[in-house]
Structure 1
Amino acid sequence: MITRILVAAVAAAFSFAALAQAQQQVRPPIALYWMSVETSSGVGMGMGLPPGMSGMLPPGMAGGRRMKLDLDSSQAASGDPRAAHAVPPGLSMGQSLPLVTPRIERPAVRERDDGEPGFERPKGRMLIYWGCGEKVRAGQPVILDFANMAPQDVSRAFRSRAISRPRGPAPGRSRSYGTWPNQEDPRPVPANASLIGEHVISGNYSPGIRFTIGGRHDFMEAVAFEAVRKTAGDAYAVKWRPVSTATGYFATATGRGDGEADIVMWSSSEDQVMGQALMDYISPGEVGRLIREKVVMSPQTTECTVPAGIFKGEGSMLNFIAYGNELNLVHPQRPKDPKQVWEQVWAVKLRLKSTAMTMLAQSEATRRRAAPMHDTPGDRSPESAPERASEPAPQREADQPKPPSPADAVEEGVKALRGILRF
């Protein structure tokens, strides 16, 4: 009996402490800094391109390390806006990167010529499949006929999951803003770049920001595929080497169907979902939820079979993402006294992903060129450099996931169609 009373008392004490902390007054940070960091394998590693050919690919299809820096501040600049990010030597990009405030130019109003043709509905169909396995599952595909589609048809075809996506810095969202890369410094990130070390952000519209990044939040390993091969049942076996810091994986593929105007889309999700919406940075917490819902593959997964018979002919492209960790820092830390206002000065978010593309329906010559995956000497295991972190900053906008509405599905569908059909 006494034990039960003690347990109840301890539980009540924790409840009161949590309630007091929840009621603590919090003022959002003056400055918000986001680092979006990507490792891209491009298409060369998965397709077995001849030496030198990968350099001829468009920027979006070439591999490499990429980084986007965004600084947002509620303070106005004293004079012309200036800010810079002092980087560690391991990044191999000099002492600092300039964070430039972009010029906002209003686009000229274009009057339509009466003789100009109006919008024409695209012809053909979109066939949507999902799930890893040798054979197409019952109830598939979901078919969208472009010539006769209604809003409810688009909503049914382009089903999506509610995902919490915090709003980061962007032009016009706060009083001051700076970004990299930019017109002053458009340099690419070197292949051997590392984020490990001390980072300092300074400027005339932001408080000083200083933090350290350790190996756990360095550039992720590149995704490495085995050569894609057909199974005995004519499906496509896709296998990859585990990415050590990945929190989950997702794949989507696009190709042609039976008709010349038919487009086929497939995703690795166990449930119908629009794949393009998931090919972006997603927080580890959200990735964990999507794994439990069988939308995202677990970090232990190393293979997925694309069902037989859904893609026709050559040229089907598979897009792949390994979701990474996040680093969230706030200065100063939350006061222990719940009565004291938590006046945040700055907050930093570092988010990571590793992406790749590969062809499914390849010619035999291309398959012979594609070498099996193997460990590379340059792969690093996460280091244990210290990272000074506190509680994540409360976002300036509500981050709670909202159920997608039919209008959201229509908008998402239109974006996907524009990307595929180029209209």
Structure 2
Amino acid sequence: MNREGEKMSIRFVCLSSTGALLLLASSVMAAEKPHPPYPHYWMSIATSNQSIPGMSEQMAGMAARFGGRGAAFGPRRELLLQLETPRVVQEPKADHLIPPGQKMGERLPLVTPVQEKTDYRPERGEREKPEQIEKPKVRMLIYWGCGDTVPKGQPRVVDTATMSPAEFGRALAGRSASPQTPPLPRKGWTYADWPNADDRQDIPKDASLLGSHQVKGNYLPDISFALDQKRDFMVPVEFSTMNRTAAGAWQFQWKAIPTASAYFATAMGHNQKTGETIVWSASDVPETGFGLMGYLTNGDVQRFLKDRVIMPASRTNCTIPAGVFGEVEGVMLQFIAYGEELNIVHPPRPKDPKQPWNPQWSVKVRLKSTASSPLMAADGEQEDARRRPAKRSDGDDERQEPSSRPEKPAGGVLDGFKGLLGF
């Protein structure tokens, strides 16, 4: 073959290769072509229970009737509905048709909030120069883990006096839920939610979300789905016991929640004498817990269980080690039970990746049950704990002398809270 023929062969091979690459690239781009935007609907289902050890249900009811702070005590059910759709109409209207067991009528109106316009424009030079902010002085002691005694290597000390703001932030940063963007108002989309200015009724204590749900409106296709027992309101968190041992450890136990997939607990207090803030979490590894008191995805739950950050659903007790809070009073315990999230996309993704898929709408249902309580024993339990023999790790009982620190009667602390609540 002469040189001219060789050149033509090379050109042919190059063109063929280029054509094949272009064909492959076009097929990949076609496969990765983004779907047209479609409506998203979120249901955030929560149960909360703010309590005080020794406070009866009747006492909590009295506090709620008197209003003020007491209105938040006792089990409460909360529901947040959020809708966004890539279509704008002049007069948006949508409703969530609910099952009879919810006992809140036939439907909940999803209202688009009115965006208030303002003509205010700051004049040039109107803004004053920001005042020089003094560096805050914060010293925090971070503890973690359930047990009778504080393990070696704790606490972790976080102090603004020896750290830059960036170092301080990194030291406090812990694990958090995977980034999720709920429906929200944005340009070119219609947003609506419940509760809203038109309807914000309380949810009955015996309300149930079980059954068929529909979302209908003049700017979206009909959304139909059903919720089972795993996605009903979760059982309130109830502490069955909370007491302080003779050694100074805090034991607390909770009733199992049937639909919980995991638990987490954290507590915080401030030492008035030293000026230190003390943070404890139930994690087996260093963790502040600041980012774990909200909704978690199913993937987050499985990941954090594997990392021993949160507690499995089979567990129902924990002990805050002696010496963590010591002389600190006014410690608040925060607790959360995570529910199993539900994600629906209609129509479902085809099993054959070559088959086209055009989602029409999606639904996300997320659940949690939370509780908060001051860390203190019910009436009489603290005094009993001081007299009760402590158990050794080998199972034998060992008598210990009562602590030299005079215990403040639990009733007196409870009476103080009663005074704040107005009864």
TM-score scaled by structure 1?
0.74
Which whole-Å CA distance do the structure 1 matches of 2:258 and 2:78 have between them? 19
The offset of 1:288, in angstroms, is: 1.3
> 325-334 vs 100-109, which deviates more?
100-109
The offset of 1:42, in angstroms, is: 1.8
The offset of 1:344, in angstroms, is: 0.4
Amino acid at match of 2:305: I
Does the C-alpha gap of structure 1 residues 60 and 52 become closer, same or farther in structure 2, counting only changes over 3 Å? closer
RMSD, matched Cα? 2.9
The residue aligned with 2:276 is 262
The residue aligned with 1:401 is none
Amino acid at match of 2:140: M
TM-score scaled by structure 2?
0.74
The residue aligned with 2:414 is none
User: Which structure has more RCO (C-alpha within 8 Å, separation ≥ 6)?
Assistant: 1
Which whole-Å CA distance do the structure 2 matches of 1:44 and 1:243 have between them? 20
| CA deviation map 1:56-86 (0-9, x unaligned) | 4366665310000000111122x22221111
The residue aligned with 2:96 is 85
- Report the 3-state secondary structure (helix = DSSP H, G, I; strand = E; otherwise coil) of the residue aligned with 1:226: strand
Please tell me whether residue 327 in structure 1 is matched to residue 336 in structure 2. no
Pairs within 5 Å for 1:245-284: 245-257=259-271, 259=273, 261-284=275-298
Amino acid at match of 2:340: N
The residue aligned with 2:360 is 345
Does the C-alpha gap of structure 1 residues 46 and 318 become closer, same or farther in structure 2, counting only changes over 3 Å? farther
Pairs within 5 Å for 1:4-23: none
Which whole-Å CA distance do the structure 2 matches of 1:153 and 1:342 have between them? 47
The offset of 1:166, in angstroms, is: 2.6
The residue aligned with 1:42 is 50
Report sequence identity in percent.
42
Amino acid at match of 1:80: E
The residue aligned with 1:203 is 217
Residues 253, 267 of structure 1: 8 Å contact kept:
yes
Which whole-Å CA distance do the structure 2 matches of 1:164 and 1:24 have between them? 23
Which whole-Å CA distance do the structure 2 matches of 1:253 and 1:112 have between them? 41
Aligned with 1:223 (options 222, 237, 242): 237
Residues 83, 204 of structure 1: 8 Å contact kept:
yes
- Report the 3-state secondary structure (helix = DSSP H, G, I; strand = E; otherwise coil) of the residue aligned with 1:342: coil
Does the C-alpha gap of structure 1 residues 122 and 72 become closer, same or farther in structure 2, counting only changes over 3 Å? same
Q: For structure 1, which runs of at least 5 residues remain unmatched after alignment?
A: 1-19, 369-423
Please tell me whether residue 140 in structure 1 is matched to residue 154 in structure 2. yes
Aligned with 2:369 (options 354, 375, 399): 354
Amino acid at match of 2:265: A
Equivalenced residue count is: 346
Residues 47, 359 of structure 1: 8 Å contact kept:
no
Does the C-alpha gap of structure 1 residues 121 and 189 become closer, same or farther in structure 2, counting only changes over 3 Å? farther
- Report the 3-state secondary structure (helix = DSSP H, G, I; strand = E; otherwise coil) of the residue aligned with 2:133: coil
Which whole-Å CA distance do the structure 2 matches of 1:174 and 1:249 have between them? 40
- Report the 3-state secondary structure (helix = DSSP H, G, I; strand = E; otherwise coil) of the residue aligned with 2:255: coil
Residues 63, 71 of structure 2: 8 Å contact kept:
no
| CA deviation map 1:154-205 (0-9, x unaligned) | 1442132264233221122761110111111121211111101111111122
Residues 47, 367 of structure 1: 8 Å contact kept:
no
Amino acid at match of 1:67: L
Does the C-alpha gap of structure 1 residues 68 and 51 become closer, same or farther in structure 2, counting only changes over 3 Å? closer
Which whole-Å CA distance do the structure 2 matches of 1:229 and 1:314 have between them? 14
Does the C-alpha gap of structure 1 residues 220 and 141 become closer, same or farther in structure 2, counting only changes over 3 Å? same
Please tell me whether residue 178 in structure 1 is matched to residue 186 in structure 2. no
Pairs within 5 Å for 1:225-240: 225-240=239-254
Which whole-Å CA distance do the structure 1 matches of 2:139 and 2:177 have between them? 28
Highest CA radius of gyration, 1 or 2? 2
Residues 176, 291 of structure 2: 8 Å contact kept:
no
Does the C-alpha gap of structure 1 residues 194 and 250 become closer, same or farther in structure 2, counting only changes over 3 Å? same
> 291-300 vs 179-188, which deviates more?
179-188
The residue aligned with 1:52 is 61
Please tell me whether residue 292 in structure 1 is matched to residue 306 in structure 2. yes
Does the C-alpha gap of structure 1 residues 26 and 156 become closer, same or farther in structure 2, counting only changes over 3 Å? closer
Does the C-alpha gap of structure 1 residues 204 and 147 become closer, same or farther in structure 2, counting only changes over 3 Å? farther
Which whole-Å CA distance do the structure 1 matches of 2:211 and 2:231 have between them? 11
The residue aligned with 1:388 is none
- Report the 3-state secondary structure (helix = DSSP H, G, I; strand = E; otherwise coil) of the residue aligned with 2:350: coil
